[in-house]
């Protein structure tokens, strides 16, 4: 009898201890969630404050006559024979994309091919000025290596530039604010957990 009562008492004490532990965990989780919510509100307010200050700074620059530039990259799938998604219009599709950007005020600054098949690398021979192969050099510390773009073209990256001046500043506000958001300082981008 005594053992049964003792075991029942131990089970009850264990149940109460487990319940108290669960309540403490729930309270800690609630406090943590409240703290995270507070930190997120503070960070969101800091982001708005930073964005507004940066936008005002850029407005002052433009109003003083400075032209600033927004940049972006756009990938366009193109094969080695300039067929853009072959069934979807070929070269005219590429030109349509470029015209679409141009009509929005974006200027193509550079095109960089994307290839499939990677780079080949070997010890760099003595430079041959008559060589028709377009190589780059990669310094690996003790020796230089020649790097040749290999594979076949699968697309092109178009690097675009958009000039912002006093005349188009107001109509460019959304793009400017999006760029400011992309360039937030690290402490405003770090996730709060």
For residues 62 and 89, state if they share a domain: no
- DSSP state, residue 84: T
167 band by pLDDT with thresholds 50, 70 and 90? very high
DSSP 150-185: -SEEEEEEEEEEEEE-TTTTGGGHHHHHHHHHHT--
User: Is the same domain home to 102 and 90?
Assistant: yes
For residue 40, give its domain range: 1-67+165-193
Residue showing tokens 């050099």: 137
Same domain, 147 and 108: yes
Give one DSSP letter per residue of 30-55, joined into a string. HHHHHHHHHHHHHHHHHHHHHHHHHH
* 134, two tokens: 């377009």
Of the pLDDT bands very low, low, confident and very high (cuts 50, 70, 90), residue 118 is: low
Q: Around 106, how many Cα atoms within 13 Å sit in the side-chain half-sphere?
A: 17
Residue 152: its pLDDT value, please?
A: 72
* Domains: count for the chain: 2
The residue with greater pLDDT, 83 or 46, is 46
Evaluate if residue 53 carries a pLDDT over 80.
Answer: yes
Q: Do 147 and 170 reside in the same domain of the chain?
A: no
Q: Are residues 18 and 54 in the same domain?
A: yes
Statement to judge: residues 89 and 143 lie in one domain: yes
Least confident of 105-114, 120-129, 173-182: 120-129
Question: Is residue 39 located within the same domain as residue 74?
Answer: no
């Amino acid at each position: 009898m005594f053992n049964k009562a003792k075991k029942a008492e131990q089970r009850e004490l264990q149940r109460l201890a487990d319940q108290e532990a669960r309540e403490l965990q729930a309270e800690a989780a609630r406090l943590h969630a409240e703290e995270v919510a507070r930190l997120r509100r503070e960070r969101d307010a800091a982001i708005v404050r930073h964005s507004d200050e940066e936008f005002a700074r850029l407005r002052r620059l433009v109003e003083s006559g400075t032209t600033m530039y927004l940049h972006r990259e756009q990938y366009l799938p193109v094969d080695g024979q300039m067929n853009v998604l072959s069934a979807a219009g070929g070269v005219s599709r590429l030109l349509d994309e470029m015209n679409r950007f141009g009509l929005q005020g974006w200027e193509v600054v550079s095109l960089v091919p994307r290839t499939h098949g990677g780079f080949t690398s070997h010890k760099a021979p003595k430079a041959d000025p008559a060589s028709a192969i377009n190589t780059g050099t990669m310094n690996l510390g003790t020796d230089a290596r020649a790097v040749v773009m290999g594979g076949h073209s699968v697309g092109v990256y178009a690097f675009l530039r958009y000039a912002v001046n006093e005349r188009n500043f107001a109509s460019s506000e959304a793009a400017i604010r999006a760029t400011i958001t992309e360039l937030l300082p690290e402490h405003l981008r770090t996730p709060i957990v």
